[in-house]
Structure 1
Amino acid sequence: MKRIPFDQLQQTFKHILLQLSFTEEKAALCAGIFAANSRDGVHSHGLNRFPVFVQYIKDGLVNPSAEPELQSSNGLIETWNGNLGAGMYNATKAMQRAITLATDNGIGCVALQNTNHWMRGGTYGWQAADAGCIGICFTNAIAGMPAWGGAEPVLGNNPLVIAVPRTKGHIVLDMAMSQFSYGKMQEYELKHEQLPVPGGYDDAGNLTTNPSAIRANKRALPIGFWKGSSLALVLDIVLTALSGGRSTTKITADKKEYGVSQCFICLRQPDMHDALVEEILAYTKSSQPAMPGGRISYPGENTLRTRVQSEKEGVLVNEEIWEQVLQLK
């Protein structure tokens, strides 16, 4: 791993996207999200994912010129069609629309069908929190996890994001329904490391810390065992019911992850009771760390810490993947 300036990373991404028929606006937005993900330590959905994104464009699975379109409106719930556009662009637009609805009405919901991978879901939680809203968003995905009691992958890891605005640093929960996201397992694999705790099953059905085995057979371990399995299923059902878009069943049938469904919800009120929120955080962090030198952090706190370090010292990148990206210029 080595460090490079954030601006260099962002401009490299943008230059490549402009060559792939992205407009200046879209190239800047998508490049900024890829670079910010790596800056914040989410390498799996930053630099590491960029070559895959480029290939999806070349394969015609991501349409650089597509714009999201309003399909229907039911009170404060809107359904949009992403038209297979860039997932980060569509997600940003959808969350902004939910923010607008919430700003005017206190609540807003945008269901998005026929879109693409949003990369780091937390991006849109931070977006909502920056606008002073509580943000909730979730997406479905290609099957990569068995249902509890099953042996074959039939559930997506269907990430869920919940963000709460806070003056001292937003609270942003960004979690897959599997113990480790596939991107995080790739990071361990690239470093030739085992997972710190079991993250899935090997081919014999035994729990394993081997990320390569799990990524190969797609038998990731659900968080909370049967609870995570159930939550992944229900999120997919809610997404399909609200958006009318493709479920994990349909996405998986095509063998490649595109045309997914997503939902963006914003809540806003003048008084978010900041003092009460601080009381909760203070109580949580008052616990003695279980390990000497350990630290108790709220969701999003480590992200902010990594962001500050990256802005000061440069963004950590995998040298091999960075060279791959430079060859795309």
Structure 2
Amino acid sequence: MQTRVPFEKLKEAFVAALLKAGLSKDRAELCGRLFAENQRDGVYSHGLNRFPGLLAKLSEGRLDGTAEPECVNALGVLEQWDGKMGIGLVNAHLAMGRAIELAKANGMGCIGLRNTNHWMRAGAYGLQAADAGCIGMCWTNTTPLMPPWGATEKRIGNNPMTMAIPRKEGHILLDMAMSQYSNGKLEVLQARGETLPIAGGFDTEGNLTCDPGAILDSKRALPIGYWKGSALAIVLDTLAALLSAGQTTHDIGAQGDEHAVSQTYIAIDVTSLNGRELCERIVNGIIDDLHEVHESARYPGEGMLRTRRESLEKGVVVEEDQWEELLRI
């Protein structure tokens, strides 16, 4: 069963739970806001759905809630940072913030971040850059979650990536994993008893299926674009490891569970380069042309903005059992 909760009330509940878990006030407020914004924007797979897992890792000592990321190497607009096994959301926010600082000073900035953890929603950090007037790009590698195209054994990550483009009336946001559906999305749909609108992977007998549970059981998610998505996942893994001097997907897989991942953050100060007026004219021209095609045609991120407006007006959609669990914490 679902219900709606005011956004501020949801955020306060996240923050309270994180304070109870021992985070500092600043970190609890940052992580609580990010979790609440994920839920507000309809990214249910990385809101309430993933929150208990974060608390469990903090409690078990698998995440260091006090770790301070450190810059360990720099070359021009490129820097390498060590996340010190800290909270992925904190490290990601810092890394994109630093990329933005470099972009404001030099036109662009790139951060390679190693020894960090799950950042939850990639799009949050693209939006962070767009809010600052920058194009934002970031991606992460993961533990092996898919077979490379032509194989049956999982060896490549689904390596989520995001690209965000600033726009006054609502940023363009591409936020996607290299699998047809992220693991988090499959988990949400399985919990709801829903099927996929199109095949998202293989069952244990090697048949394409729309059953999210069957895909989670087989661990054979389908790459986006078949062989193209497989290739892109491999390239993103390679770039993240090279730019951060960190671990690759096969290194992460050898650990047994996912931690110490490698990530890349890029910010480009396109607003200072072109001026806001020209940027708005170019982006709005593309969107206006798209909307002329058909009423259902939409740009990346448009559906998210619609969900956000509805969440702020009517309340954020939550699963009642997950909401009650958060309140009990």
Aligned equivalents of 1:40 and 1:60: distance in 2?
Answer: 30
Counterpart residue number, 2:283:
277
Residues 66-87 of structure 1: CA distance to partner in whole angstroms, max 9, x if unpaired?
0110110011100000111111
Aligned equivalents of 1:225 and 1:158: distance in 2?
Answer: 15
SS of 2:71's partner is strand
Kindly indicate whether the alpha-carbon contact (under 8 Å) linking 1:99 and 1:128 is maintained by their aligned counterparts in 2: yes
TM-score normalized by the length of structure 1: 0.96
Among 285, 293, 310, the residue aligned to 1:287: 293
1:217 offset after TM fit, Å? 2.1
1:167 offset after TM fit, Å? 1.1
Counterpart residue number, 2:155:
154
Kindly indicate whether the alpha-carbon contact (under 8 Å) linking 1:142 and 1:251 is maintained by their aligned counterparts in 2: yes
Amino acid at match of 1:162: M
1:185 offset after TM fit, Å? 1.0
Aligned equivalents of 1:277 and 1:160: distance in 2?
Answer: 21
Residues 7-57 of structure 1: CA distance to partner in whole angstroms, max 9, x if unpaired?
221111111111222100000000000011000000110111100111111
Residues 193-237 of structure 1: CA distance to partner in whole angstroms, max 9, x if unpaired?
110000000011111001001112211000000000000011000
Amino acid at match of 1:322: W
Aligned equivalents of 2:236 and 2:218: distance in 1?
Answer: 23
User: Which stretches of structure 1, 4 residues or longer, exceed 3 Å deviation after superposition?
Assistant: none
Residues 106-159 of structure 1: CA distance to partner in whole angstroms, max 9, x if unpaired?
010001000011101000011000000001100011111110001011111101
Report % sequence identity. Answer: 48
SS of 1:153's partner is coil
Counterpart residue number, 1:75:
76
Aligned equivalents of 2:6 and 2:168: distance in 1?
Answer: 27
1:297 offset after TM fit, Å? 1.1
Amino acid at match of 2:159: N
Counterpart residue number, 2:267:
266
Kindly indicate whether the alpha-carbon contact (under 8 Å) linking 2:203 and 2:217 is maintained by their aligned counterparts in 1: no
Amino acid at match of 1:284: L
Amino acid at match of 1:190: A
Counterpart residue number, 2:124:
123
RMSD: 1.1
1:40 aligns with 2:46: no
1:274 offset after TM fit, Å? 2.3
SS of 1:48's partner is coil
Aligned equivalents of 1:169 and 1:85: distance in 2?
Answer: 31
Counterpart residue number, 1:237:
238
Aligned equivalents of 2:62 and 2:254: distance in 1?
Answer: 15
SS of 1:138's partner is strand
Counterpart residue number, 2:320:
319
The within-5 A match list for 1:1-329 is 1-269=2-270, 270=272, 271=274, 273-288=279-294, 295-328=296-329
Kindly indicate whether the alpha-carbon contact (under 8 Å) linking 1:144 and 1:153 is maintained by their aligned counterparts in 2: yes
Aligned equivalents of 1:28 and 1:136: distance in 2?
Answer: 24
Counterpart residue number, 1:292:
none
Aligned equivalents of 2:225 and 2:205: distance in 1?
Answer: 21
Q: Tell me which moved more, 106-115 or 7-16.
A: 7-16
SS of 1:146's partner is coil
Amino acid at match of 1:58: S
TM-score normalized by the length of structure 2: 0.96
Aligned residues: 323
1:186 offset after TM fit, Å? 1.3
